[in-house]
Structure 1
Amino acid sequence: MAGKFDPQNAQNLMEIEKQFAVKAVEQAQTYWNLMEKVPPRELKLTKFDEEIFNHTIEFFPEFSENDNAKLIKLDEEWMKSEDGKKRWRTFIQMYEKKVKEHNFGCLIRTDARQEYEETNTIFVMRMQFYAIEIARNRLGLNDTAHEIAKAEAAKEAAKKEKEASKKKASK
């Protein structure tokens, strides 16, 4: 007889954790690739972007203060504080039945002006990712990241072209 699943007493199975990590990395790579190809202000992440943006700015007024400093550079300590967790939990619950996989784990850049790298990445819930990245995109805070992604793609294309030329020349 199967009982109800209790997440509080569930074991952390290494294989499941690895699968979540792989999915989070794939999502981050996909988002970075999108930022390379589409100007962030034109990027649409959900069909509720407008609502999520307005709600985020209203629910977290500190994101609008000091030229959006707390959106540009996330404060992980605040996000994980008792107050931060409580506020985010309340925010996220409003999208429970609206946004698919709202509580899946995602990687987010702590500094919007930089790319995904180990020292600039934290793990958040998908709704936190949407709230922060939609706001960053709308406010132009991801414009620098867009330029970085485009420059990286151009370098990579040039490198591949050079390698292809070398192969042709050696035939």
Structure 2
Amino acid sequence: MATNFDPNNAQNLIEIEKQFAVKAVEHAQTYWNLLEKIPPADMKLTKLDDEIYDHLMKTFPEFADPPHDKLVRLDEDWLKSDDGKKKWRDFIQAYENKVKDYNFGSLIRTDARLEYGETNTIFVTRIQFLAIEIARNKMGLNDGAHEVAKADVEKERLKKEKEKSKGAKKNGKS
């Protein structure tokens, strides 16, 4: 590999973009699996959860206002507004040397009450994902998602059990 690679002048190669997308989807699936298995209030995403949470609340006091509508349902236009971008840029930079892959892309649910889906997902940096999900977990805003994830797993288990018993009956076993 060339040692004089300049990422600022590199072309966006479609294969590299696909790899980033695959990683982001894998990350989202892993997080959803965690939400299914661990009560959000008990979840620890980093060693810096408390620091990240406190920093988020100081930088974005609108997230702290009950009933926490801005955290329950993220406003993509607000996140990407000039003011939002500047505040987030400063927030993100604070973690450059503290959180691995702090600026990698991650998928986040726009509505904390729902699962990942085409209309409930946006792309953010890893530290934005961590900050928002840490806050959602601490404030109980992911409790509903935890129940949805557990119900999804149970539905899938019952479906497989039903298919297995149908297969056994077809083969003359009951």
SS at match of 1:122: strand
C-alpha distance in structure 2 between counterparts of 1:126 and 1:46, whole Å: 12
C-alpha distance in structure 1 between counterparts of 2:72 and 2:46, whole Å: 21
Higher relative helix content: 1
Structure 1: which 5+ runs fail to align? none
Question: Residues 68-105 of structure 1, C-alpha deviation per residue, up to 9 Å, x if partnerless?
Answer: 11011111011111111111111111111110110110
Q: How does 1:91-130 map to 2 (within 5 A)?
A: 91-130=91-130
Number of equivalences:
170
Alignment match, 2:6: 5
C-alpha distance in structure 1 between counterparts of 2:25 and 2:7, whole Å: 27
- 1:61 equivalent in alignment to 2:61: yes
CA RMSD of aligned residues (A): 1.3
1:168 Cα offset (Å): 2.1
Q: How does 1:21-40 map to 2 (within 5 A)?
A: 21-40=21-40
SS at match of 2:119: helix
C-alpha distance in structure 1 between counterparts of 2:125 and 2:168, whole Å: 47
Q: Percent same amino acid at aligned positions?
A: 65
C-alpha distance in structure 1 between counterparts of 2:5 and 2:155, whole Å: 52
Structure 2: which 5+ runs fail to align? none
Residues 1:39 and 1:2: Cα distance change in structure 2 (over 3 Å): closer
TM-score by length of 1: 0.95
1:170 Cα offset (Å): 2.4
Alignment match, 2:138: 138
1:167 Cα offset (Å): 1.9
Alignment match, 1:74: 74
1:4 Cα offset (Å): 5.3
SS at match of 2:67: helix
Question: Residues 126-165 of structure 1, C-alpha deviation per residue, up to 9 Å, x if partnerless?
Answer: 0000000000000000011111111111000001111111
1:10 Cα offset (Å): 2.5
C-alpha distance in structure 1 between counterparts of 2:10 and 2:85, whole Å: 21
Worse-superposed segment, 18-27 or 65-74? 65-74
